[in-house]
Amino acid sequence: MRGRRFAFWGAVVLIVASLGAWGCGGDTASTTTSTAADTATTSVEATTTSEVPGVPIKIGVLNPTTGAQTQNGTDVNNGIKMYFDSIGNTIAGHPVELIFEDDASNPQQGLERARKLVESDKVDLLMGVVHSGVALGVAGYAAQASTPYIVTCAGANAITGADRSPYVFRTAETNAQRNLVLGWYAGTKLGYKKAAVFSWDFVAGKEHAEAFAKSFTDVGGEVVYNVATPLPTQDFGPFLSGIDKSKIDVIYAFYASADAIRFVQQLKEFGFTPDIPVIEQGSLTEDEILPEMGDAALGIVDTTCYAPSIDNPVNAKMKELYAQVKPGSNPGWYVYQGYLGAMVAASAIESLGGDVSDKDAFLAAIQGVTLEGPGGPFAFDESGQAVLSQYLTKVEKGDDGTLVHAIFDQVPAVSQAWTP
């Protein structure tokens, strides 16, 4: 009898442990990536500049620097730090103090650290968060505590949806935003008619797949297969075997991280690619994991608000700054989002001359920000949600044989309610 009981408790411990592990990954388009280099797990870190007159402006930055999203959080923090360093950590004569905290992609920890930033560090502004669950919690708290909050990555539609608080802004896209463009583009410009839609079976997966399906069917396309796979899916073989190749002319997929690599490789192994084109909204061929996919990724089309190859002076500056942080590599989406968020925050503070004591004026100043970011023109819509250009890219082989995203088209000013 004893053996059986141990087996049972062993299984219970295991299930609880693994649910905990998956919980960390349960978020939006963000991938669970990280590289060993420079992922210093410093949870608290302050950058101060002394000998500048004026009241210091405190900005609390909350991002995962431990756990599965360590790399993402570190990238965003780097982007934010890079920008503030580049302006000497001073805005309109006021020193800027960044206070970094680690949310570990855990909603409870995120909330607790947000509280600490607001109540004990007395920050004037909150920024950051990759995980949608954390962001929703922090957004609710920021509204309660009357502290402006700029979401830099998390994609859940609800953050800037109907129940959005006036204290909450987002400089990244919603889960739906890119897919609206992609569905329309696939159905019209690319001329696809019958799609197989693959996504993860959880909230973000549904938001992505539904937004794509809606805009694709609006222009006359048809979703022949709608496959929701568990998070994570180790083997896509069974799901792929259920698809009749002759009935579709395109595959849409929303995956990230390890599942994305497996999906792309297995598409090739099971003979889907290169015959059937694959389209996606950016996370499937994220720059971090693209090299692992090899030639199986060639030809995949995606929409994104940022690619290193975008040609403008702001992006050139950002790439130059990033080359000092991580020599020889290009900034990815997460670095870009951190950098953009910092630009937006700095621009709002600048317009107030550095006086952020009046909350209503501060909120109005953030809402009113328009600027040229590394990805082109930036503005907020009336719900504090970023309006950004979308770029259509295709995975190709670069001159040195590595895989790159080559931009081939562009759709300007895409909002969360975008229609053609």
Residues 289-308 within binding reach of another protein (CB under 8 A)? 289, 292-294
58 DSSP β-pair partners: 97
CA distance to 48, 227, 243, 267, per residue, from 238 (Å):
54, 11, 9, 12
Task: Answer yes or no whether residue 343 interacts with another protein by CB under 8 A.
Answer: no
- Tell which positions 191-220 bind another protein, by CB under 8 A: 201
Q: Kindly tell me the sign of the dihedral angle through the C-alpha atoms of 387, 76, 28, 114.
A: negative
What DSSP assignment string belongs to 257-270? HHHHHHHHHHHHHT
| C-alpha gyration radius of the chain | 22
Work out how close the CB of 346 gets to another protein at its nearest, in angstroms, rounded to a whole number.
30
- The least distance separating another protein from the CB of residue 337, rounded to whole angstroms, comes to 18
What are the E-state strand segments in 162-288?
168-170, 194-200, 222-229, 250-254, 278-280
Work out which of 220, 242, 327, 401 binds another protein, going by CB under 8 A: 242
Asked if residue 348 binds another protein (CB under 8 A), the reply is no
Out of 88, 237, 353, 368, name the contact with another protein by CB under 8 A: 237
Token reading at 293: 């996919």
Measured from the CB atom, the residue of 92 and 270 that comes closer to another protein is 270
Query: Smaller CB distance to another protein: residue 215 or 265?
Result: 265
| Nearest alpha carbon to residue 375 among 419, 321, 414 | 414
- The answer to whether 327 contacts another protein (rule: CB under 8 A) is no
Q: Which of 28, 33, 179, 393 binds another protein (CB under 8 A)?
A: 33
* Rounded distance between C-alpha atoms, residue 108 and residue 44, angstroms: 18
The 262-291 contact track toward another protein, x by CB under 8 A, reads x--x---xxx----------------xx--
Place of tokens 């957004």: 139
Contact positions with another protein (CB under 8 A) in 77-116: none
Per CB under 8 A, does 46 bind another protein?
no
Cα(36)–Cα(79) distance, integer angstroms: 18
408 binds another protein (CB under 8 A): no
Q: Where are the alpha helices (DSSP H) in 175-312?
A: 175-187, 203-218, 237-241, 257-269, 290-293
* Residue ranges binding another protein (CB under 8 A): 1-4, 6-7, 9-11, 13-15, 17-18, 21-22, 25, 32-37, 39, 68-71, 201, 227-230, 232-235, 237-239, 241-242, 257-258, 260-262, 265, 269-271, 288-289, 292-294
